[in-house]
Copies of this chain bind each other. A is one copy, B any other.
Amino acid sequence: MKNKPIKLSDIAEKLNVSTVTVSKALRGHPDISQKTTKLIKETAEKIGYTPNFMARNLSSRKSNTIGVIVPKIAHFFFGAIIESIYDIAFRNNYEIILTVSQENEKREKKHIQTLLSMKVDGIIISISQETKDYSIFDAVKARGVPIVFMDRIPAIPDVDTVSVNDRLGAFMAIEHLIKLGHTRIGHFAGYSEINIGKERYLGFEDAMNKYNIPINPDWICHGGFGEKAGYDSFIKLYQKNSLPDVIFTVTYPVALGIYMAASELGLKIPDDIDVICFGNAKVMKFFAPPLSCVDQPTELIAEKSMKLLLNKINNPDDKSVNEVEIPTDLVLRGTCRTFNRK
């Protein structure tokens, strides 16, 4: 009962022309006359022909496909970015192969290999929080496959990147806290091996230094970019009886972890502990209290990344290195609005 898919040769036979003629006609190649092209296109449409993706890509050696690797999906930041990427890809007639590393370096590596074996035309990646071995990225470059690093960027030279102004964004947040009168400021910093961890910490440090506020190492907690990290760090500080007045978190999920821990511990935000995070999400404004944050414009990140990548794909000889930096905004909602010195 299995309908065999229609192929080029079916159309060719029917119209008594060669398969090459059909192939060319369908792609609008000037070799073929208007008349024949029209005829072929019409019959192709009529009998419902769709080209075999594999065959086409194998012989043409390109896939019109972009590979995307992200650490997570079910988090607002990546979800929003992915949605935008899909949208842009669709409009440009590209397919997306999305893979998820689950913050796991080995998976990430395997995905990259898969994408290469699929002959994707380019790759957009936000690396996992635990990725330490960057040699795989050299392999990608060696293959001549354009790659754009987005948001989470490894420290390697000469790569195209799109990120937000992490350092300044963090600085602005901390400066705001200080101006509110805060001095006992903590920072849940993720991992410092990776740019977003490092830069955001640096921004934090910049502000603390500028206003001559000592940094309490107890309050600088590392551990990851997810909820668990925020939750665990908070619980630990609480148990050590060493909570700061306010915590700046490296990501939104980390802040979520704090909300979770605080609610379990019966601590009130923002009275007992205040929170501000890097990264925005639509739902924050409905939180109790609405969470203030440093806004990262996801759509813009996606757009710039895609533009950069498509540009590299279409101009293979373009060896330029582009490091796009997107500005951030401080969005003040219910948290970190005021501070009453205890």
A98 touches B98 (CB 8 A): yes
Q: Is the CB of A116 within 8 A of B5?
A: yes
Number of interface residues of A (CB under 8 A): 56
A311 contacts partner chain B, Cβ-Cβ < 8 Å: no
Binds B, one of A24-32, A48-56, A155-163: A48-56
With an 8 A cutoff between CB atoms, is A289 at the interface?
Answer: yes
Interface check A149, CB cutoff 8 A: no
CA–CA, A57 and B90, complex, Å: 24
Chain B residue at minimum C-beta to C-beta distance from A58:
B54
Q: What per-residue 1/0 map shows which CB atoms of A70-102 lie under 8 Å from chain B?
A: 001111100110110011001000011111101
Instruction: Name the B residues within 8 Å of A48 (CB-CB).
Output: 139
User: Is A198 at the interface (CB under 8 A from chain B)?
Assistant: no
User: This chain: how many copies in the complex?
Assistant: 2
Answer whether residue A144 sits at the interface, using C-beta atoms and an 8 A cutoff. Answer: yes
Interchain CB contact under 8 A, A74 and B82 = yes
Do B63 and A73 have beta carbons less than 8 Å apart?
Answer: no
In the assembled complex, how far is the CB of residue A323 from the closest CB belonging to chain B, in whole angstroms?
21
Taking CB atoms, residues of chain B closer than 8 Å to A63 are 54
Digit string of A101-113 for contact with B (CB within 8 Å is 1, else 0)?
Answer: 0100001000001
Shortest distance in angstroms between A27's beta carbon and chain B's nearest beta carbon?
15
A50 and B144 CA atoms in complex are apart in Å by 16
A180: interface (CB < 8 Å): no
- Cβ-defined contact, B1 with A144, below 8 A: yes
Distance of A144 from chain B, by nearest CB (Å)? 4
